[in-house]
Amino acid sequence: MQKVALVTGSTSGIGAATVRRFAADGFQVVVHSRSSREAGLALASELGGTYLQADLSQEDQAAGLVPAVLDAHGRLDVLVNNAGISWPVPHADLDGLSAADWRRLLEVNLIAPWLLCTAALPALRDAQGAIVNVTSHAGVRPKGSSIAYAASKAALNHVTKLLAAALGPGVRVNAVAPGLVDTPLTADWTEAQELWKTVSPMGRAAQPADVADLIAMIAAHQYLTGEVILLDGGLNLR
């Protein structure tokens, strides 16, 4: 039976590149988004997959996403927690983040992945499958669009390790922590673009396919678990 991969937040950027990569690897793919329904339906149709819409900030919708995948496909082999939210708040602006902002970021970036992992666990155990969490360079280094965003990704990195320790050997759990990635969201981040171009050993930001290739490699690796792999073109060396 064909393996199935669910990639959250997968109608553009890293997520879209990831479902394309899994489809090329022979997976049945499930495309997900919160609001871009037309793009999701088009991509799923192109790849011969399924599209599901859910607002991951809503607990019932987040918890219901995996059961919808199982209803459609009967199995789940790989869960990629890619969906996330972010907006810029200078780190020194302590009044720029309200308690509501923190809750919103944590709901989508941390709690939703937890709910998805919990819901997916029985199917992933049956499949001897894998979870890949897409976190961020900001969860490893003191950087990022805001302190709350960086904290949410740092927490997800640690949850990755805790889950790997708890769920092995039946389910492998790893994370990819990208640095700057060329997407429509980052197109006008001129300062960050210049930093990666002039300082990182690779001399450029990542492309979405760079991240997708690593996600697919991690998901396929039968021994790798509990790792947070920094994908920043070597900027961490500087």
Give catalytic residues, as residue numbers.
149
- C-alpha–C-alpha distance, residues 130 and 121, integer Å: 10
Phi, psi of 37 (to 5 degrees): -65, -45
Burial code of 151-170, b = ≥16 C-beta within 10 A, e = fewer?
Answer: bbbbbbbebbbebbeebeee
Token readout for 70 is 């199982």
- C-alpha–C-alpha distance, residues 217 and 65, integer Å: 24
- C-alpha–C-alpha distance, residues 1 and 18, integer Å: 21
- C-alpha–C-alpha distance, residues 71 and 57, integer Å: 22
Helix (H) / strand (E) element for 123: namely helix 112-127
Question: Cα dist. 135→101, 140, 145, 190 in Å?
Answer: 18, 9, 13, 22
- C-alpha–C-alpha distance, residues 104 and 194, integer Å: 30
